[in-house]
Amino acid sequence: MRRFSCLLLASFLFCVAAVSAREGMWLPPLLSQQAAALRAAGLQIPVDALYNKNGDGLNNAVVRFGGGCTGEMISAEGLLLTNHHCGYGTVQGLSSAAKDYFAHGFWAMNKGEEIPCPGLTVSFVRKMDNVTSVVLEGVTEAMPEAERDSIIARNSRFVEDLYKGNHPGMDATVSSYYNGNEYWISLVEVFKDVRLVGFPPNGIGQFGGDTDNWMWPRHTGDFSIFRVYANSDNKPADYQRNNKPYQPVKYFTLNAKGVKEGDFTMVYGFPGMTQEYLAASQVAQIADIIDPIRIEVRTARLAAWTQKMQADRNVFLKYTSKRAGVANGWKKWQGEVLGLREANVVARRREAENKFQYWAQRDTTLPYADNLLSQIQANVAQGNQVLPAEVYFQEAVLGIELITRGAVLDRLVTALQNGGKEADLKKAIGDWEGFYKNYDAPTDRAVFDTLMPLFFARAGSYVPEYFRKELKRYGSFRAWSADVYNRSVVADPDRFAALVKEGTGASASRLLADPALLLYRATLQTRRNEIAPVLASAQQRLTILSRRYLQAQRIAAPNRAWYPDANGTLRLAYGQVKGIDPEGPAPYSFQTFLSEALAKDNPEVAEFRAPQKLKNLYAAYDFGRWGNGKDVPLAFIADNHTTGGNSGSPVLNANGELIGTNFDRIWEGTMSDLQFDESRCRNISVDIRYTLFIIEKFGGAGWLLNEMKIIR
C-alpha cells in the first residue's frame, strides 16, 4: 500500500494543521480537542467549564428556543433572553388590534403580568454522546442505501429508547454528522410553560427592518425576554398558573463593562444548517440556479405583500411575521451569491479538488476516491435538468397560500373517503383558526396575480396542463384568480368554518371540485411524475458520494481539525470582536451607538420610526448605568462562525460572561454557510448594555434587573 504524506504533498490544500481559529462550529464534547486553540485565542476559564460530563457546564444555560432559535438563561428565576425576531411569531399570536405589541411593546411589571405562550417550548441539552459504533453496527459500505438507512434508523431508535429509559422525563435524539460518517445523541429536557416578559416595540426591536437586515452598521435592539416555568419539583410541566419560575442549573452573568476590538468572544447555540464541504459543482448549483430563482420570485412576492400591508394595518398584523421570514431568506441569498462570486469560491473549490484528485490517484487507502468528484459532477448535472422548474414550483406556486391550503382539502377528501372518522377529519384540518387569524384573501390573490405569470414565463414545459387549460379558459390571470378566490372554500374563513362544522357530513365530491384542491393536485402530480424521479435519483447517489467524499478528505488530512456541518444541534464558535472594511480603505467600526440609530429616525418610514420615548431619553442623556455619558453602545460585530439558528445565541467573553445577544450576520459574509472567509464573515450582536438600558429606562421594567447578576 502506497501512502503519500502531507510532507510530500506540501502544496495539498487539505494538509493543514487546523482550520482558522475563527472558523468552525464545534461540538461541546469535543472542545477539549480545541483546548490549546481556545486558550491561544484568549479563553480564560477552563474548557470543561463550557461542557463536561458532570453536567454543570455552561451548556445548561443555553436553550433551543421554539423550533429554530437559541436563547440563554440570565437569572436564577428562569429569565430567558433571545432575539426580538425569535419571539415574533409567538407575540403575533398574543397580539391584536387592541393589544398591538408590535407598535407599543410589552413589559410585565411583575410575574403575575407575564403572558403564557401556548405551544412555545425551550429545550436544554444536558448531555451529548458519540454513538457511531452502535448506530452503524451491521452497516457495510457495499449494502444498498435503503438497507443501510433501515439499519441506522432501527439502531438509532434503540439508542434513543435506551437513553430515555435511563433518564425519565428526558427526550433523546440521534443526529447524523460528517454526512453520515458519525452519529451523536443529544439528551434533552423540554420545558413547555414559557411566558412573555418583555418585548420592545418594532421601532426598537425591528429598527431598520428589511432595509438594514443583514447589513452593517446596524442599529436594531433585536431582543425579547421570556420566563421558563416548572412544577414544584423544578421539572418540566404543562402550563399551570401556580407553576414556579424554573431554577436553572446554570445561568449567565451579564458583563456590562463593554467590548473593544480584539476581545475574545464565543457564540454558544443551535446553528441550523451549513454545507461547508460541498464540491465545486454543488456550490455552483446554489450560486447560479437555486439562489437567483429564489431571489427573483421572492422579490415579486414581497412587493405584493408590502403594497397590501401598507394600505391596511390589519393586513400588516396578519402578515408581518410571515413577511419577515420570507424577506430574511430573500436578502440573505443576495448576499450569499455576492460573496460566493466576489470570493471566487467555485474556482477555489476546483483548485482544491485538483489537489485532492492528485492525492486520490496515488493513494490506495480508498480505491473509489479517485472517481468521486467526476461522479458528483455527473449527478449534479442530472439534477440541474429539472431543478429550475422545481425551485419555481416551491417559490412561486407554493408561495400562493390558497394553493398550499389545497393540501388540507386533499387530506380531508382522503379522510372522508376512508370513512370520515372524526379524529381523522380533525387531524386533516389542523389548526385552521390559527391559519385564518393571519390570512387575508385579497392579499393572497394579489400574490397569485403576481407569481402565476412569472411561473408560466419561467417553468416552460413543466407548467401543468391543468394550469394551461384554466388560463386559456379564463383568458387572463386576473379573471382566473377572481373565480378561484370566489369559489374556493379555503379562501374564506366563514366558508371554511362551515365546512369544519359539517364534519363527517361534508361532501368529498364537492371538495374534489374545489379550485384550490385542483391547483394543488396538478402541482403535486407534475412534481411527483416529472421532477421528483430525476432529483431523487441524483440525490440518492449524491448522498452516498458526499459521505464518501468527506470521509476521503478526512483521511487525506488527518491532522486537520474537522468540524461537522451545522445540523441544528448544540455548537460553540469562537473568534474576536472585529470591524469590517467591505468596500474601501476606512474600516467600519466594530461598534454602533444609539445616536446613530436616532440619526436614521424618519417618522414617514415605518422601518425607521423610532419611539418618541427613546428620543426623549437620548435628548436628556438619561441612560442610567448603561451609557458613556453621551451615548449608549447598541451593537457590535465579531468574526464568529454563525448561521441561521444562532439567532438569540449568547455571545460570551473570555470568562464565559454574557456581553451580547447574536442576531444576524453581515451581508458580505452570508456565504459562510458554504465557505467561511474570515476577511468578510462577521456576526452581529446586540450589546448587553443596550438591552439593559431598554429594559430599565425605556420599558420601565427595572425590577427584572434585580434578579440578574451584572458586572459593571
CA 13 vs CA 22, 83, 345, 440, 610: distances in Å: 18, 38, 14, 54, 50
Q: Are residues 222 and 333 in the same domain?
A: no
User: What is the pLDDT at residue 588?
Assistant: 65
Q: Are residues 227 and 375 in the same domain?
A: no
Q: Are residues 353 and 228 in the same domain?
A: no
Domain's final residue, options 553, 576, 596: 553
Share of residues in the chain with pLDDT > 70 (%): 96
Tell me whether residue 642 is in a domain.
no
Q: Are residues 504 and 549 in the same domain?
A: yes
Q: Are residues 325 and 211 in the same domain?
A: no
- pLDDT, one tens digit per residue, over 502-544 is 888 889 999 999 999 999 999 999 999 999 999 999 999 999 9
User: What is the pLDDT at residue 5?
Assistant: 33
- Per the annotation, the verdict on 85 as an active-site residue is yes
Contact 25, 274 (CB under 8 A): yes
Written as nine digits, the cell of 462 is 413543466
Tell me whether residue 234 is in a domain.
yes
Domain around 363 = 280-553
User: Is the previous residue joined to 292 through a cis bond, with omega within 30 degrees of 0?
Assistant: no
Q: For residues 687 and 16, what is the distance between their CA atoms, to the nearest angstrom?
A: 35
Q: Are residues 236 and 381 in the same domain?
A: no
| Residue appearing with cell numbers 431508535 | 157
What is the pairing mode between strands 182-191 and 193-199?
unpaired
- pLDDT, one tens digit per residue, over 328-367 is 899 999 999 999 999 999 999 999 999 999 999 988 888 8
Q: Are residues 171 and 288 in the same domain?
A: no
Tell me whether residue 626 is in a domain.
no
User: What is the pLDDT at residue 325?
Assistant: 87
Q: For residues 270 and 650, what is the distance between their CA atoms, to the nearest angstrom?
A: 11
Tell me whether residue 206 is in a domain.
yes
One DSSP character per residue, 488-517 reads -GGG-HHHHHHHHHHGGG--HHHHHT-HHH
Q: For residues 159 and 152, what is the distance between their CA atoms, to the nearest angstrom?
A: 10
Catalytic one among 75, 84, 85, 687? 85
- pLDDT, one tens digit per residue, over 627-643 is 998 999 999 999 999 99
User: What is the pLDDT at residue 583?
Assistant: 55
User: What is the pLDDT at residue 10?
Assistant: 32
Q: Are residues 256 and 285 in the same domain?
A: no
Q: Are residues 384 and 249 in the same domain?
A: no
Residue 697: beta bridge partners? none
Domain's final residue, options 553, 582, 613: 553
User: What is the pLDDT at residue 582?
Assistant: 53
Domain's final residue, options 230, 262, 294: 262
Q: How many structural domains comprise the chain?
A: 2
Q: For residues 219 and 591, what is the distance between their CA atoms, to the nearest angstrom?
A: 10
Q: Are residues 234 and 179 in the same domain?
A: yes
Tell me whether residue 256 is in a domain.
yes
Contact 91, 101 (CB under 8 A): yes
Tell me whether residue 477 is in a domain.
yes
Q: Are residues 187 and 256 in the same domain?
A: yes
Ranges in the chain, pLDDT < 50: 1-21, 584-586
Q: Are residues 338 and 458 in the same domain?
A: yes
Catalytic one among 647, 649, 672, 685? 647
Q: What is the pTM of this model?
A: 0.87
- Per the annotation, the verdict on 601 as an active-site residue is no
Catalytic one among 75, 176, 193, 222? 222
User: What is the pLDDT at residue 530?
Assistant: 97
- pLDDT, one tens digit per residue, over 192-220 is 999 999 999 999 999 998 889 999 999 99
Tell me whether residue 698 is in a domain.
no
Closest among 642, 604, 646, 634 to 698, alpha carbons compared: 634
Tell me whether residue 359 is in a domain.
yes
- Could you give phi then psi for residue 407, rounded to 5 degrees? -65, -35
